[in-house]
A and B are shown apart, each in its own frame.
Chain A
């Protein structure tokens, strides 16, 4: 049987990918950020997950305004790296896990979560930067990946409550898959940041730290946070944090926190990172 062993969250700022791709990780600006992932890279090298169910958002790359799926699951066999306007990132092609993805799709839709199914899609920094943070620069990614894209750009995104409940449905789907697989779920994006307008640069460290605390022990309280509170308190793009609730919803009620890291800034963004193990 497939087994969901752990959840991981991290921000997915494009400048982080550029810092790695351009060999800048030892610069004073970047070093503290990357030091917080040293534990994580050693940990995942020991865990060797077979499949990452990777919750992220596309940034007006694969999805323009012509199609705006709220939840979309990548069921394809492979996902090429998107050219976001400065050439594709020099990272390996992402290999899918179509058997599990199609299974999750069928299971979750039958639980009333009406996913969009994607077989042909390219993936942007929202998906590749988390892989880079956890695996560095391998010739091939050492895991298969199910991309799960959430609309957090065209308001409204799905509610935190909806995301949390969807995570539970994804968990039930993974638990009912017959193949013996070690699966992790990652929730990416956030933490507090605002990229637009005169209020650009907003960071709310108190909000972020409270969010990290509650994510471990009291995720129900986070599921109740309305959109406007994220936008007002954590910046207009801080709303991406609802994606972390899909990750948390998929885990056991009780989890063990293995690692936490928080750093301001990466470009315009507060970077948060946490690893939670199913107890």
Chain B
């Protein structure tokens, strides 16, 4: 019997459930190491070599190297974990969110200051606002 996962039809959203946490265990635990400055330094010196210390899939390593955050979400990483990559790259959470939203940081901030992204049309995949 499969579990009920009623959140699968929320557009542009990956819920960090058991499937994702299982898939992303090693990539997330790699991210945890970036809270220490000496690890950030060593990672930035040779990202590939640092990533190769972890039993992550090639696709996960590629997504980290490319800073492809939407790909990372699909591959089991969670934003509070890969947020450590934002710190490593010295970008804000606002900037990170704008990248995932496919917007410039200025446009993203303008959207937020204007009240944020409306839920209308954004609740279900295929929904028209």
Of the listed stretches A129-137, A195-203, A213-221, chain B binds A195-203
Binding site secondary structure of chain B = helix
Q: Is B70 interfacial (CB-CB < 8 Å)?
A: yes
By a CB distance below 8 angstroms, the chain A residues around B81 are 60, 64
By a CB distance below 8 angstroms, the chain A residues around B112 are 201, 203, 264-265, 267-268
Q: Is B49 interfacial (CB-CB < 8 Å)?
A: no
Q: Which of A198-229 contact B (CB under 8 A)?
A: 198-205, 207, 226-228
Q: Is B56 interfacial (CB-CB < 8 Å)?
A: no
Tell me whether A196 and B79 are in contact in the complex, defined as CB-CB below 8 angstroms, given that A60-B32, A154-B21 are known contacts.
Answer: yes
Q: Interface residues, chain B, CB within 8 Å of chain A?
A: 6-7, 10-18, 21, 25, 28-29, 31-32, 34-36, 40, 69-70, 73, 78-81, 83-84, 87-88, 92-94, 96-98, 100-102, 108, 111-113, 115-119, 122-124
Determine if B70 and A198 form an interchain contact, defined as CB atoms under 8 angstroms apart: yes
A contacts with B, residue count (CB < 8 A) = 44
Q: Is A232 interfacial (CB-CB < 8 Å)?
A: yes
Determine if A196 and B28 form an interchain contact, defined as CB atoms under 8 angstroms apart: no
The one of A192, A198, A201, A228 in contact with B111, judged by C-beta atoms closer than 8 angstroms, is A201
By a CB distance below 8 angstroms, the chain A residues around B88 are 85
Determine if B16 and A202 form an interchain contact, defined as CB atoms under 8 angstroms apart: no
By a CB distance below 8 angstroms, the chain B residues around A84 are 35, 87
Determine if A265 and B7 form an interchain contact, defined as CB atoms under 8 angstroms apart: no
Determine if A200 and B29 form an interchain contact, defined as CB atoms under 8 angstroms apart: no
The distance in angstroms between the C-alpha atoms of A192 and B83, with both chains bound, is 19
Determine if B87 and A85 form an interchain contact, defined as CB atoms under 8 angstroms apart: yes
Determine if A265 and B113 form an interchain contact, defined as CB atoms under 8 angstroms apart: yes
The distance in angstroms between the C-alpha atoms of A198 and B35, with both chains bound, is 26
Tell me how far the C-beta of A127 lies from the nearest C-beta in chain B, rounded to whole angstroms. Answer: 15
By a CB distance below 8 angstroms, the chain B residues around A66 are 29
